[in-house]
Structure 1
Amino acid sequence: MGKLTGLSEANLAFDLPPGIAPRPSRPPPPRRKDQTSDTEPEAGPEGHRKRLRDKLLRAGPEALADYELLEMLLFLALPRVDTKPLAKRLMARFGSFGRTVSAPEPELRGVEGAGDAVIAALRLARATALKLMAEEVREAPVLNNWERLIDYLSAALARESVEQFRILFLDSRNRLLADEAQARGTVNHTPVYPREVVKRALELGATALILVHNHPSGDPTPSRADREMTAEVKAAAATLGIVVHDHLIIGNGRHLSFRREGLL
């Protein structure tokens, strides 16, 4: 059978019944602005969010820049807003993801777009991280888990703008019973009452303590008042058979151990 060439609707019209014209070809309907093909990436904020989520799930958080992690966190607070500009403003103001989630509320409110929902999301991220770190510290005797303890205390205290005095209450196996803030003070002083420290230790059944406070200046060098307070707490605890294992001062990226420095 011979090969047919040059066929078209016009020269095939003789095959149609009399009086019926061939149907004209129609162009495909125009694509809506919000419609994408299976092979084209989604456009707009939703497409950008999807790409970030896919990147996180496919390659892990290490594949994301700090501002991208912050941007994704802000999705929770601002579900209908493009959060990339705000994430970049926060990073420009505070310098890193960690400093942003730990920033004081008044400073956060000074950044355009950072309202209650944003601040709540940042506080939630910080609280979640501290909870995870605290659970890791509880899993083993504190004295055998020193690096994790320092990491946890640094995350909790290094960026505080005022002094905070905390006590780690330990059981007879040096496991963490409680980590409690006993007092908050000024930028360079926190009042500590040895009697209250010992009273709380008895309430918890603690047999040992680790004293902790921060220096907002970033310099962990102990002051004369720090040394005197440590000696007073140690003496008050000793009368009831409670041991003070150490006093840690947390600075900005640095810390000091009274025991390692021979001060306890």
Structure 2
Amino acid sequence: MKNYKKGHRKRLREKIILDNGQSLLDYEVLEHILYSAYSRIDVKPIAKSLIENFGSLNKVFNADLEALQNVDGVSNTAISAIFCVKQAFVRSAREEIKDLPIIDNWEKLLDYLRISIGSLNKENFRVIYMNKKYRLIAEDLQNIGTVDQTPLYVREIIKRALLIGSTSIVISHNHPSGDTQPSNSDISLTRQLAEACQSIGIELIDHIIITFSSYFSFKENRLL
């Protein structure tokens, strides 16, 4: 009987070279990433198991450490490879807004937020600090919260903005539920931050609730 596993990695590499990997199936993308973690074993079952467990390639890349460790056969070395790929996506998207006026490149900012926090399974707050020309000068992960609550520390944001000389900020957080409608807590906290910013001459440009497929803008919906 012919051994179809023999030469499989070579065939997969040739497939990638042929069309820049565009014809790869999702599990084949994971296979190639996992080669760096497993030099000798067949990683196809592990790649397929990851897709099956999380439902999509995107959700694999956005899974947290504990969730990945619960998948049979997935080692910490494999997890580190997955995390590095996710960071490559995030940093590439961040480069797109790094040296541009963010206020004039809104779609690129939304793309960055989708990639960095849009699919995470816990609420995360990003605070984007800008200068007078609306260029990025700093970014903070303000808080990693539970699924249903993310404290927003107004005082810490204001303190940080003053420390680095930021004159405008955008805040964003994800809703793991996929529903981008703001909660009463979201609205209340945004108003508190807007009032604090206004009192010291800092512009709160927007609060964006983001998921991988949609977003809610407080400014566009006249809540800011």
Unaligned runs of 5+ in 2: none
Q: Provide the residue aligned with 1:187 in structure 2.
A: 147
1:162 aligns with 2:122: yes
- Quick one: distance in 1 between partners of 2:114 and 2:79? 21
Unaligned runs of 5+ in 1: 1-42
Q: Provide the residue aligned with 2:73 in structure 1.
A: 113
4+ residue segments displaced more than 6 Å:
none
Q: 3-state DSSP class of the match of 1:235? A: helix
1:130 aligns with 2:60: no
Match of 2:63 among 77, 86, 103: 103
1:49 aligns with 2:9: yes
- Quick one: distance in 2 between partners of 1:99 and 1:180? 23
Give the count of matched residue pairs. 223
Q: What is the letter of the counterpart of residue 212 of structure 1?
A: S
- Quick one: distance in 1 between partners of 2:161 and 2:138? 10
What does 1:1-264 align with in structure 2 at a 5 Å threshold?
45=5, 47-264=7-224
Q: 3-state DSSP class of the match of 2:7? A: helix
- Quick one: distance in 2 between partners of 1:136 and 1:200? 24
- Quick one: distance in 2 between partners of 1:202 and 1:50? 55
- Quick one: distance in 1 between partners of 2:150 and 2:87? 23
> Larger Rg: 1 or 2?
1
Cα deviation code 1:162-188 (max 9, x no counterpart): 222220001111111122111122211
CA RMSD of aligned residues (A): 1.7
Q: Give TM-score, length-normalised by structure 1.
A: 0.80
Q: What is the letter of the counterpart of residue 119 of structure 2?
A: R
Q: 1:234 to 1:243 in 2, by over 3 A?
A: same
Contact 1:219 1:252 in 2 (8 A): no
Q: 3-state DSSP class of the match of 1:179? A: strand
Deviation at 1:251, TM superposition (A): 3.0
Contact 2:180 2:215 in 1 (8 A): yes
Deviation at 1:65, TM superposition (A): 1.3
Q: What is the letter of the counterpart of residue 88 of structure 1?
A: K
- Quick one: distance in 2 between partners of 1:79 and 1:45? 14
Contact 2:27 2:47 in 1 (8 A): yes
- Quick one: distance in 2 between partners of 1:46 and 1:241? 66
Q: Provide the residue aligned with 1:11 in structure 2.
A: none
Deviation at 1:158, TM superposition (A): 2.1
Q: What is the letter of the counterpart of residue 200 of structure 1?
A: R
Contact 2:121 2:176 in 1 (8 A): yes
- Quick one: distance in 2 between partners of 1:185 and 1:89? 28
Q: What is the letter of the counterpart of residue 66 of structure 1?
A: D
Contact 1:169 1:179 in 2 (8 A): yes
Q: Provide the residue aligned with 1:23 in structure 2.
A: none
Cα deviation code 1:123-143 (max 9, x no counterpart): 111111101111112132112
Q: What is the letter of the counterpart of residue 69 of structure 1?
A: V
Q: What is the letter of the counterpart of residue 98 of structure 1?
A: N
Larger RCO, structures 1/2 (Cα 8 Å, 6+ apart): 2
Q: 1:207 to 1:46 in 2, by over 3 A?
A: farther
Cα deviation code 1:75-108 (max 9, x no counterpart): 0111111111111111111122111121122222
Deviation at 1:46, TM superposition (A): 5.9
Deviation at 1:258, TM superposition (A): 0.4
